[in-house]
Amino acid sequence: MTSTLQAPPGDAGPSPSRPGRARQALALARNTWRGLTSMRTALILLFLLAVASLPGALLPQRTPSPNAVSDYLAQNPTLGPFFDDLGLFDVFATPWFAAIYLLLFISLIGCLVPRSFEHVRGLRAEPVSVPRNLARLPHHAQSTSDDDPDAVVESARRRLRGWKVAVRSEPGGVRTLSAEKGALREVGNLVFHLSLVALLGGIAFGKIFGYEGQVIVMADGSEFCNSGIYAYDSFRPGLSVDGTGLDPFCMIVDDFRASFRPDGQPDSFDATVRYQDTDAVERGDTTWQPHDLAVNDPLRVDGERVYLLGHGYAPRFTVTFPNGEQRVGLIQWRPVDQATLLSEGATKIDPPGVTDESERRRSQLAITGLFAPTSSGGGLVTSTFPALNDPEAAVDVMRGDLGLDSGRAQSIFEVDRSMVEQGRLVRVARENVKPGGEIALDDGTRIRFDGVENWVSLQVSHDPAQTAVLVAAIALLGGLTLSLTVRRRRFWVRVTPAQPSTTVGRTVVSLGGLARTDRAGYGEEFGRLAADLAPPRPDDADTGRERPDPDVPADAVESGEPDEQDDREDDDGR
């Protein structure tokens, strides 16, 4: 008799134990890491990085062209501020771009480190054993030979010179030979991805320890020194750069030359400069080294690169005040039409000898308007060509408070519009003037348009990782070339001694081949190897090459060969 014990009602027994919080957190971290270092995640991150980079190509960026960003904001009062809030005008410095960049970096490292160790072990290991049934491989052949098994194997070894070969013995006097070739394909694959990591790391290193600065210098013998951030019009330091440890090289821009095609397209830009490196500056040397600075041909000094970015014009005005004192105004005007270099700007001048602050603010002058290097003539001045063929300026002369000491930042290319709206800055003259022409004001002040000077826009770049980035880029291309051109294939030989009951005095030679890439092309190579190692004999029972079983996949091998199955797994490219 069997008795059954039942738990009292309401007592369901002990509940299963739940994992502790530490184990749950560990499992979450482990699963997160596995997901982050998977190929799918890396591809998604790479795609997101490409998408995130698109605004940097489609929208103006503050680093190379802050003026273009200002123009875009002025022309798009609705979308512009919205894009600015998202950081689309400085994409590569935004936190969200850095987050994608960092996650991709971690994902690639997490994939490549174990893969590299696995590949090293694979390179050191011998080729896999011969599958039991070579007839099930996509490429196979069989013939007989009068030579003994050792002689056949030795002949195959000589024929497969350059392949990685392993010879083994099986029961019954059977000799096997395993050969493989094309391991450089996987090496190239790893080199490609490791170089990609190095490239990303080099770019990140350069952004942390490098800097970029832009400055406009008059091409009339004006000097620029890399002494600090205040020497620049705009300066973008790396995360670890504070601007106090710059190499203090100096340069003088003596001249600038530009040539244009008949349709106005630029043909060539170059500037004649002189420079002193850091050692010469610190020694107080008076010798300057000449250099011809051109587009895409930077000056390299003390690990810095000085690029010629662009150029423009700076009208020179001489203001003669009623007391006979003079002031010369020379400042760059910015191009508003890159095709014709029609430029706008504002030359601001303080009156001399005025000590009373109220009187000084009432007497400040601004010469603002448009400058055309090749004037179209007529009352409305515009430019028809970017070269200085017929320069003319259409200017408004403003008198009053320019707001220079108001404590508010203002553009050097225009006057403070709030002063105009308040009536503290008024227009006292409007004229079109050519070089040598004068404008007379009601108080006896005369403004003469003396001529035009060229200015050049320079960019100083310091990137301590540029050599590493170059090497990584070259290695990346080399690894990609290897992974695309090298074919990985395997070849097996099984030599069975003669069996008196079947094939008297003859050795059976069975061949098999498998390609992981370029399977169609491997058929020709396998045919040549088979013709050399196992040529068909007229008296063989089967003189033709066997075809693979159509019910078996092309790359299928015997299920009992785990090494071969593992090797046939699709290459995930990582």
pLDDT for residue 19: 63
The stretches of 210-291 forming alpha helices (DSSP H) are: 278-283
User: Among 462, 477, 504, where does a domain finish?
Assistant: 462
Handedness of CA 527, 530, 535, 541 (dihedral sign): negative
347 pLDDT band, cuts 50/70/90, is very high
- Tell me whether residue 410 is in a domain: yes
| pLDDT band with cut points at 50, 70 and 90 for residue 255 | very high
**Interhelix angle 183-209/95-124, nearest 10 degrees:** 150
pLDDT of 473 > 70? The answer is: yes
Please report which confidence band the pLDDT of residue 16 belongs to, taking 50, 70 and 90 as the band edges. Answer: low
Specify whether 158 is located in the same domain as 226.
no
40 pLDDT higher than 50:
yes
Average pLDDT for 182-209: 88
Cα–Cα dist 570/302, whole Å:
50
Tell me, yes or no, whether 574 lies in a domain.
no
Same domain, 216 and 174: no
Same domain, 175 and 78: no
Q: How confident is the model over 291-317, as a mean pLDDT? A: 92
Q: Is 552 found in the same domain as 502?
A: yes
* 196 in a structural domain: no
Q: What's the whole-model pTM score?
A: 0.67
Q: Is residue 290 very low, low, confident or very high in pLDDT (cuts 50, 70, 90)?
A: very high
Statement: residue 566 has pLDDT above 50: no
The domain boundary, picked from 78, 94, 116, lies at 116
- Asked whether residue 136 falls in the same domain as residue 105, the answer is no
In this predicted structure, what is the pLDDT of residue 302?
86
Please check whether residues 97 and 133 belong to one and the same domain: no
Q: Report yes or no: 360 and 354 within 8 Å, Cβ to Cβ.
A: yes
Question: Is 107 inside any structural domain?
Answer: yes
Among 63-77, 95-109, 154-168, 458-472, the range scoring the smallest mean pLDDT is 63-77
Tokens of 173: 């006097």
152 and 48 within one domain: no
- Least confident range of 45-49, 61-65, 386-390: 61-65
Residues 378 and 309 in one domain: yes
Are the C-beta atoms of residues 67 and 214 closer than 8 Å to each other? no
| 363 plus 238 within the same structural domain | yes
pLDDT interval class at 10 (50, 70, 90) = low
What is the predicted pLDDT for the residue at 459? 92
Domain span holding position 436? 211-462
CATH number at residue 562: 3.30.310.80
Strands 326-330 and 304-320: antiparallel
Among 11-20, 86-95, 233-242, the range scoring the smallest mean pLDDT is 11-20
- Helix, strand, or coil here: 88? coil
Q: Which range among 11-15, 183-187, 326-330, 466-470 shows the weakest confidence by mean pLDDT?
A: 11-15
State whether 425 and 542 are in the same domain: no
Q: Which of 87, 116, 145 is the last residue of a domain?
A: 116
Give the model confidence (pLDDT) of 404-426 as tens digits. 877 777 788 889 888 898 888 99
- Stretch 128-136: mean pLDDT, rounded? 89
Tokens of 139: 């490429």
Let me know whether 311 and 453 are in one domain: yes
* Structural domain contains residue 472: no
The total number of structural domains in the chain stands at 3
Q: What is the pLDDT of residue 219?
A: 93
Q: What is the pLDDT of residue 185?
A: 86
Give the residue-averaged pLDDT of 297-314: 92
Question: Among 512, 498, 517, which residue's Cα sits nearest to residue 546?
Answer: 512
Write down the pLDDT at residue 454.
95
Q: How many beta carbons lie within 10 A of that of residue 106, not counting itself?
A: 16
Classify residue 6: in a domain, yes or no.
Answer: no
* Mean pLDDT, the chain, integer: 84
Q: In which band, very low, low, confident or very high, does the pLDDT at 11 lie, cut at 50, 70 and 90?
A: low
What is the pLDDT, as a whole number, of residue 388?
Answer: 94
**Is residue 250 included in any domain, yes or no?**
yes
Q: Is residue 198 part of a domain?
A: no
Q: Do 354 and 273 sit in the same domain of this protein?
A: yes
pLDDT of 61 above 70: yes
